């Protein structure tokens, strides 16, 4: 079984975790392949997974590491098993304490795959050409660089102009991303499996603008208003990005492939909401007598 490994070097325990994985893999019939930047963290040489047809991918870190792993997999739909080394890890399914059991389940096929919707975004130039095609699992955001400053854009959904938006930015999110940046900006939680795209303004400057939930088959185009294209940035999952020049727009649609997340045991979506987002938690309230 060919298993790739992606990790976040900022976690202090990463080296010991990778040494443990390297020791456990042979007995389970696992051949390990690593992203190149982890070379110094292994206790012996592990080949790169670039160009290798992987059976699964292990990510060690938090949700950001899992998102980066999904991007590295591209359109190959490799099952991803996220191991949380941080605090929340909403998208991950294992911890360092459950790692051995997770490896056993992976080899035995005792898991469920959640096929998550992703977004494909391109920057459209004023001459009709495209540049910077990127895939996002969580969201695509248009915002200003540097300190918080207002953006003014027109948002088109299926070619229909929703109207001008005046806000600190615009987020286009998947159901997976509805519990990330979009949620912090006041967007709704959309259960994974619902085929939808969420359009959420960041700190809208009018009460008449609210988050929208549209069918996943719709295309969303964000076009800066004339005179408001300076210093605009487009970010993908908050990890990579590009500038947006005058005359350019952002065209977002559902990606042709899915991101395959491995789920172990009974950690359902609402269980994770209760445990990791503390949904409905009243434990800190004093009882009213």
Tens of pLDDT along the chain (289 residues) come to 999 999 999 988 899 999 999 999 999 999 999 999 999 999 889 999 999 999 999 999 999 999 999 999 989 999 999 999 987 789 999 999 999 999 999 999 999 999 999 999 999 988 888 888 899 999 999 998 766 688 999 999 999 999 899 999 999 999 999 999 999 999 999 999 999 999 999 999 888 899 999 999 999 999 999 888 788 999 999 999 999 988 899 999 999 999 999 999 767 888 888 888 888 877 766 555 5
pLDDT recorded at residue 287: 55
Q: Where are the domains of the chain?
A: 2-111+264-276, 118-256
What is the torsional sign of CA 44, 49, 55, 57?
A: positive
Q: CA of 241: how far to CAs of 133, 160, 178, 233, 238, in Å?
A: 11, 26, 20, 7, 8
pLDDT recorded at residue 80: 98
SS3 content of the chain, % helix, strand, coil (to 5): 20, 40, 40
- Among the listed residues 31, 63, 104, 256, the single catalytic one is 63
First to last CA, the chain: 60
Q: Which helix (H) or strand (E) holds 183?
A: helix 181-184
Give the three-state DSSP class for 136: strand
Architecture per CATH, 118-256:
Sandwich (2.60)
Residues 43 and 22: beta-carbon distance below 8 Å: yes
Tell me whether strands 220-224 and 169-173 are parallel, antiparallel or unpaired.
unpaired
CATH number of the 2-111+264-276 domain: 3.40.50.10330
55: Cα within 13 Å, side-chain hemisphere: 12
User: What does the alpha-carbon distance between residue 34 and residue 37 come to, in Å, rounded to a whole number?
Assistant: 8
63 is catalytic: yes
pLDDT recorded at residue 284: 66
């Amino acid at each position: 079984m060919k298993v790739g490994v992606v990790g976040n070097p900022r976690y202090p325990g990463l080296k010991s975790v990778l040494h443990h994985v390297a020791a456990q893999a042979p007995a389970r019939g696992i051949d390990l392949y690593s992203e190149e930047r982890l070379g110094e963290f292994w206790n012996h040489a592990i080949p790169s997974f670039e160009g290798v047809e992987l059976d699964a991918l292990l990510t060690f870190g938090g949700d950001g590491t899992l998102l980066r792993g999904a991007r590295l997999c591209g359109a190959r739909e490799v099952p991803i098993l996220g191991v949380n080394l941080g605090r929340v890890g909403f998208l991950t399914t294992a911890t360092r304490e459950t790692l051995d059991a997770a490896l056993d389940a992976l080899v035995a096929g005792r898991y469920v795959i959640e096929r998550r919707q992703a977004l494909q975004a391109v920057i459209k130039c004023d001459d009709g050409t495209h540049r910077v095609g990127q895939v996002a699992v969580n969201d695509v955001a248009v915002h200003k660089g540097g300190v918080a400053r207002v953006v003014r854009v027109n948002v088109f959904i299926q070619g229909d102009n929703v109207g001008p938006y005046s806000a600190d930015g615009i987020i286009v999110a998947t159901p997976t991303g509805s519990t990330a940046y979009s949620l912090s900006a006041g967007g709704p939680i959309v259960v994974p499996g619902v085929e939808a795209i969420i359009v959420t303004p960041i700190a809208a400057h009018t009460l008449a603008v609210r988050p929208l939930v549209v069918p996943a088959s719709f295309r969303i185009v964000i076009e800066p208003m004339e005179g408001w294209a300076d210093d605009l940035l487009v970010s993908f999952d908050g990890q990579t990005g590009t500038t947006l020049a005058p005359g350019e727009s952002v065209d977002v649609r559902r990606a042709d492939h899915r991101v395959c997340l491995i789920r172990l045991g009974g950690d359902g979506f609402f269980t994770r909401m209760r445990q990791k987002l503390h949904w409905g938690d009243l434990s800190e309230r004093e009882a009213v007598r």
